[in-house]
Amino acid sequence: MKISIRDGSNYFKGLLLLIRKDRKIKESEIQLMKHIGKALGFESEFCENAIHEVLENKFIIDNTPEFSTKELAVMFIKDGLAIANSDTEIHLAEEEWLRSTAENNGLDLNWFQSERTIAENRHHLPSKMEVDNLKVDY
């Protein structure tokens, strides 16, 4: 699916904001964020800097992302849940932030709860992330 630069940026930034919610960034989250940044066409150095600076960067506004389509928001939530569960625990702050993102993008909260349960019961990372189906239209 082709997406705009703005949607691609919101996708990456939104997941960066998610990984800082528990105030710890695990190695699994770092690896997933590098994969996501690469899939979205961002330079690896930019991604690494953003990941390592996100906890301390006071200039990042912590707003939930808004996407141009519900389909993209669904993909974001699924990837967000996979990242949140990559340390085998979806923390309350992560869940609340993803739920708020779903709500702000017009997604059904029952759907969100169902996806959360699926992610929580998964004992491994998905073999393919939703972001792998995206192509930023530069």
pLDDT band at 13 (very low <50, low <70, confident <90, very high): very high
Q: What angle do CA 26, 5, 70 make, to 5 degrees?
A: 80
pLDDT (tens digit per residue) in 56-66? 888 888 899 99
97 with 90: CB under 8 angstroms? no
Adjacent-strand bridge partners of 3:
136
Question: How does strand 2-3 pair with strand 135-136?
Answer: parallel
Task: Give the CATH number for residue 44.
Answer: 1.10.3680
For residue 138, pLDDT over 90 is answered with no
Between CA 104 and CA 100 the distance in angstroms is: 6
User: What domain range includes position 87?
Assistant: 2-136
pLDDT (tens digit per residue) in 32-45? 999 999 999 999 99
Count up the domains in the chain and report the number.
1
For residue 126, pLDDT over 80 is answered with no
